[in-house]
Amino acid sequence: MHPLQCVLQTQRWGPLASVSWLLLRTCRAHSNVPSTACPSLERQQEDGVRKDFSSRLASGPTFQHFLRSASAPQEKPDMEDPPPYLTVDELLGRQRKVYLETYGCQMNVNDTEIAWSILQKSGYLRTRNLQEADVILLVTCSIREKAEQTIWNRLHQLKALKTKRLRSRVPLRIGILGCMAERLKEEILNREKMVDILAGPDAYRDLPRLLAVAESGQQAANVLLSLDETYADVMPVQTSPSATSAFVSIMRGCDNMCSYCIVPFTRGRERSRPVASILEEVRKLSEQGLKEVTLLGQNVNSFRDSSEVQFNNAVSTNLSRGFSTNYKPKQGGLRFAHLLDQVSRVDPEMRIRFTSPHPKDFPDEVLQLIHERDNICKQIHLPAQSGSSRVLEAMRRGYSREAYVELIHHIRESIPGVSLSSDFIAGFCGETEDDHLQTVSLLREVQYNMGFLFAYSMRQKTRAYHRLKDDVPEEVKLRRLEELITVFREEATKANMASVGCTQLVLVEGHSKRSATDLCGRNDGNLKVIFPDVEMEDVNNSEVKVRAQPGDYVLVKITSTSSQTLKGHVLCRTTLKDSSAYC
Ligand code: 5AD
Ligand code: SF4
């Protein structure tokens, strides 16, 4: 038998990840660790486990087994029904302590809690102390080269931890989860022999099995992408009792195929979570006293829940004016406006945000709803990526600069006072100095309140990698990025200056990191607001003086600003409903 038991499988759902695989490989065949490295008693035990495991593996899953699980929607591991080569007992965590470390975007923060929820049900414990951990899992990001380099560096540090591990303790297991596992697959196992498990973004339900396989000294991986996995029934665990806000994942994957972006390859096709399960999670969070939810997804406003047959009519999608898609028009299903409407009705005292949207999906009904509903924050992230129509075309963004600017005007007319943010990439393939200056001018023209600016990082598999040349020298990319950051800051400072003298509703998060005598919270536009922690009146009971606690809404008069923070003094404690009419 080939030491690498690898099941290749042509996916039903097209070319995005034309080959996906599950693999198990034996430590003896592939590890550099000589067998003499094991202390004898431990080795005897391990050998026993291995022999037992090998014999069960031989009578275990066949090629057909994997094909079967591949041709149905992804099977959910069931503790009653373990795979043939594992017992129910082996799938249990046996109180092993898991340390989870998150890199990258907010999706990954949410995925970390999904992974943890699955492991907790399986009998694992969580630790925040690395030294205590029996299992270390890194939830990784692949969006830019630098993000991956950070993980490689971290793995080198963890290697030392693994080698120095006392033999009296159970062996330390290390896992790579998320986008990097999906992108690099076995390259990680080959490069870093001390990595025990790999789990792609759609394989977290398989974590107990992967860890059980790793227990016997094998490396194990599942990087299958799914067409329908949304973890709808996995409620992330709220780990911080003082938390005021939470993320709620509403969709996964992306069909846009912007030419620079790896996400469609690491996170797979776009799919939405059923509305009913999202509402159930938001209700639970409201019952727990949380005051803010952020609806999460790679393309939140492309949301389309087609799980309920009666809504699968042939009504086609309303795109923003002047915008197009790289895929065939989709029809039917419950759309983002419906979801936003429903979610915002759960608890009028709960703020609703969403990220990250694509500018193509802002039809009037979404804008109208944001304008009308008090608890939907007047804050829109509108990733432009570039101010040059020529570059936007090369990026396959589906809009021109003019269409984007027109949308900005339309949004500002529809939602007065809206706070805007954007993502930009400096130095994309073929970007000239003139293209760059057009991005500078877009930053000046729009005057965003927040910005996320990056130097272009070429990613294998993307269209840009295959068709375009990464021809802007690194130092030019960095110089342009610096210029964009400077201009963004100048404009954001000006935009935020408009708040001075205004009274804003702030959701208190806790004490300021810089000063124990100050409190910190967020305004409706998601900007940080710092103010002294003093006694104040409560609007519903003027007779008592109160001190604001995390989760309280307070009115703060803004007295000064920078590009990223506002400062002010607190007027009173209030509620979201009571504060709807203010400057
Ligand atoms: N290089 C640099 N930035 C990128 N982004 C996505 N792909 C790349 C890349 N290859 C940025 C985009 C996106 C944000 C999440 O990351 O601006 O909106
Ligand atoms: Fe990183 Fe994108 Fe993956 Fe998020 S989805 S972890 S940003 S590569």
Same domain, residue pair 247 and 214: no
Which residue has its alpha carbon closest to ligand 1 atom 17? Answer: 423
Residue at 165 is within a domain: yes
Residues 252 and 329 in one domain: yes
More confident residue, 461 or 308: 461
Residues spanned by the domain of 201? 88-222
Determine phi and psi for 163, rounding to 5 degrees: -70, -35
Give dist(CA 143, CA 147) in Å, integer.
Answer: 7
| Span from the CA of 179 to the centroid of ligand 2 (angstroms) | 6
* DSSP-derived 3-state class of residue 352: strand
Cis amide bond preceding 272, omega within 30:
no
| 213 inside domain | yes
Residue 286 has pLDDT above 80, yes or no: yes
Tell me, yes or no, whether 306 and 371 share the same domain: yes
* Nearest-angstrom CA–CA distance, 512 and 69: 50
Asked if 97 and 214 sit in the same domain, the reply is: yes
CA 518 to chain centre: 30
Cross-strand bridge partners of residue 135: 98, 173
Domain co-membership, 363 together with 249: yes
453 falls within a domain: no
Output phi, psi for 508, to 5 deg. -75, 130
Judging by DSSP bridges, how do beta strands 518-522 and 541-547 pair with one another?
A: unpaired
What CATH number is attached to the domain comprising 147? 3.40.50.12160
- 114 and 199 inside one domain: yes
Under 8 Å between Cβ of 134 and 96: yes
Residue 99 has, within 13 A of its CA and on its CB side, a CA count of 13
Ligand closest to 465 (CA) is: 1
Mean pLDDT, to the nearest integer, of 96-110?
A: 96
Q: Does ligand 1 lie within 6 Å of residue 265's CB atom?
A: no
What's the gap in Å between 333 CA and the centre of ligand 1? Answer: 29
**How far is C-alpha 91 from the chain's CA centre?**
27
CB under 6 Å to ligand 2: residues?
Answer: 104-105, 107-108, 141-143, 178-179, 262-263, 266-267
Q: Are residues 373 and 246 in the same domain?
A: yes
Q: What mean pLDDT comes out for the span 438-451?
A: 97
- The model's pLDDT over 530-583, given as tens digits with 9 standing for 90+, comes to 999 999 999 988 888 999 999 999 999 999 998 899 999 999 999 999 886 455
Atom 1 of ligand 2, nearest CA residue: 141
- Helix, strand, or coil here: 534? coil
Residue 319 neighbours by CB distance under 10 Å: 18
Q: What's the pLDDT band for 289 if we cut at 50, 70, 90? A: very high
**pLDDT > 90: what percent of the chain?**
73
Strand partners, 325: none
- Per-residue pLDDT for 63 more than 90? no
CB burial class (10 A; 0-12, 13-18, 19+) of residue 490?
middle
Answer yes or no: are the C-beta atoms of 560 and 500 closer than 8 Å. Answer: yes
| Structure token pair of residue 94 | 């046996």
The H or E element spanning position 114 is helix 106-121
Highest averaged pLDDT of the listed ranges 51-65, 75-89, 344-358: 344-358
Q: Could you say which of 346, 377, 408 is where a domain stops?
A: 377
Q: Give the pair of three-digit tokens for residue 379.
A: 């804050």
Query: Which CATH number goes with the domain that contains 554?
Result: 2.40.50.140
pLDDT at residue 23, rounded to an integer: 41
Q: What is the mean pLDDT of residues 350-377?
A: 96
Our answer on whether the CB atom of 459 is closer than 6 Å to any ligand 1 atom is yes
Residue 316 lies in a domain: yes
Residue-averaged pLDDT of the chain: 86
- Same domain flag for 166 and 266: no
- Tell me, yes or no, whether 218 and 258 share the same domain: no
Q: Which of 101, 102, 140, 143 to mutate to test the pocket of ligand 2 (most atoms within 8 A of CB)?
A: 143
Mutate which of 266, 381, 425 for ligand 1? The one with the most ligand atoms within 8 Å of its CB, which is 425
**Ligand 1 pocket test: which of 454, 462, 463, 484 has the largest number of ligand atoms within 8 Å of its C-beta?**
454
CA 394 and chain centroid, separation: 26
CA of 261 to the centre of ligand 1 (A): 6
Round to whole Å and give the CA distance between 31 and 34.
8
Domain assignment present for residue 218? The answer is yes
- Best residue for ligand 2 mutational test, from 138, 257, 267 (most atoms within 8 Å of Cβ): 267
Express each pLDDT in 254-263 by its tens digit: 999 999 999 9
How remote is the CA of residue 430 from the centroid of ligand 2, in Å?
25
Best residue among 108, 256, 260 to mutate for probing ligand 1, ranked by most atoms within 8 Å of CB: 260
Closest-CA residue, ligand 2 atom 7, reads 105
Position 13 pLDDT exceeds 50: no
- How far is residue 581's CA from residue 583's CA, in Å, rounded to a whole number? 7
Note whether 291 and 255 are same-domain residues.
Answer: yes
Q: Between residues 55 and 414, which one has the greater pLDDT?
A: 414
Residue ending a domain, among 169, 192, 222, is 222
Summarize the confidence of residues 319-340 as an average pLDDT.
86
Measured CA distances, 488 to 382, 391, 427, 477, 478 (Å)? 15, 19, 16, 16, 15
Q: Is 124 a member of any domain?
A: yes
Spacing, Cα 93 to ligand 2 middle (Å): 28
441, part of any domain: no
| Per-residue pLDDT, 4 | 31
Distance 268 CA to ligand 2 centre (A): 12
In the prediction, which pLDDT does 35 show?
32
List beta partners, residue 544: none
Q: Are residues 207 and 297 in the same domain?
A: no
Q: Does the C-beta of 436 come closer than 6 Å to ligand 1?
A: no
Residues 508 and 554 in one domain: yes
Structural domains of the chain, count: 3
- Residue 271 in contact with ligand 1 by CB distance below 6 A: no
Residue 520 belongs to a domain:
yes
